Amino acid sequence: MNRRTYTVEAFVVHRRDLGETDKLIVLFTREMGRLTAIARGARKPGSPLAGSTDALCFAKFHLSKGRQFEYVTQAQPLRTFAHVRGDLIRTACALELAEIIERAMGDQQPNEAVYDLALLTMELLDGASDPAAVSAWSEMHLMRVLGYRPRLDDCASCNQPLPPRAAFSPGAGGFLCRPCAETKRDALGLSAEAVSELRSLASSEFPPECLRTCGALRRVFRRVWQHVLDSDLRSASFLDDLLSVGSAGAGGTER
């Protein structure tokens, strides 16, 4: 795009303070992929850019090109997601989604499927009774559209059919039978219920109302992203801590 100024709709996947009054924000757009922009004066009291340039905002941004970064000249919020912002677990789920997108996507590499999934996930998080189930479903489908969908139908190593219980190996790319799992240091044993729920997430068009094995599935996803991104997600520990407290108070699911 050669225009000096242009307009995009974007999801703010990261934000940090810059100088005394500015913000540096990372945007994910449908048309242009990931962009880094500076919002000058966005931290000043009463700035018209303040509300639209925080993490997790979906907004329309008017940008101008600089030598290294884009600059935000105007911004109008498009979606508010009030329930996400008003609930700590929903916020943590959304921040984990944003971190995955920020780190997995390259600069100016558009992916309409990722953008649409991010928007749908935020809408679902805003209204679902179990945000952790939405998060798990979203991450499974994010793996698929990014090309990391795990192999779940048979053993990823020897191609043999699997028993109800299986292990999961990010390095192998999916489920493993018991003999193959014994040769993989990253193999994580799973119950039959966790295996079933993981397969259901991969094949479901929409998230389930709840998950019985949320803790086990989160361990799987956390290891997958650690393998893909070469480091752990910064936001994962915070969300896991919140879910552990909620699970303990509710009597617990499989951890």
pLDDT given at position 3: 64
What is the structure's pLDDT at 1? Answer: 45
Strands lying side by side in the sheet with 174-176: 174-176, 166-169, 188-190
**Mean pLDDT to the nearest integer, 27-33:** 95
Q: Taking 90 as the threshold, does the pLDDT of residue 14 lie above it?
A: yes
CATH architecture, domain 83-250:
Up-down Bundle (1.20)
Is CATH 2.40.50.140 what the domain over 5-80 is classified as, yes or no? yes
Distance from the first to the final alpha carbon of the chain: 48
What DSSP string runs through 59-100? EEEEEEE-SSSEEEEEEEEEE--HHHHT-HHHHHHHHHHHHH
Strand partners, 188: 168
Mean pLDDT, rounded, for 211-239? 96
Inform me whether the pLDDT recorded for 250 exceeds 60: no
In this prediction, residue 175 has a pLDDT band, given cuts at 50, 70 and 90, of very high
Give percent of the chain with pLDDT exceeding 90. Answer: 89
Q: Band the pLDDT of 32: cuts 50, 70, 90.
A: very high
Task: Please tell me the predicted confidence (pLDDT) of residue 80.
Answer: 86
Q: Residue 255's pLDDT band (boundaries 50, 70, 90)? A: very low
pLDDT digits (tens, 9 = 90+) for 78-136: 998 999 999 999 999 999 999 999 999 989 899 999 999 999 999 999 999 999 999 99
Asked whether the predicted pLDDT for residue 163 surpasses 90, the reply is yes
Q: pTM of the full predicted structure?
A: 0.92
As a whole number of angstroms, the distance between CA 174 and CA 163 comes to: 14
What does the pLDDT read at residue 67? 83
| Nearest to 68, CA basis, from 40, 37, 105 | 37
Equal CATH topology for 5-80 and 83-250: no
Is it the case that residue 2 has pLDDT exceeding 70? no
21: burial class by Cβ within 10 Å (0-12, 13-18, 19+)?
Answer: middle
Q: Is 96 exposed, middle or buried (0-12, 13-18, 19+ CB in 10 A)?
A: buried
* Residue 177, token pair as written in the block: 């039978």
Q: Quick check: 172 pLDDT over 50?
A: yes
214 residue type, one letter? C
Q: What is the pLDDT of residue 248?
A: 52
pLDDT surpassing 60 at residue 220? yes
Q: Is the pLDDT of residue 246 over 90?
A: no
> Which of the pair, 68 or 115, is modelled with greater confidence?
115
- The domain spans of the chain are 5-80, 83-250
Task: State the average pLDDT over residues 61-74.
Answer: 93
Helix (H, G, I), strand (E, B) or coil at 35: strand
pLDDT at 168 over 80: yes
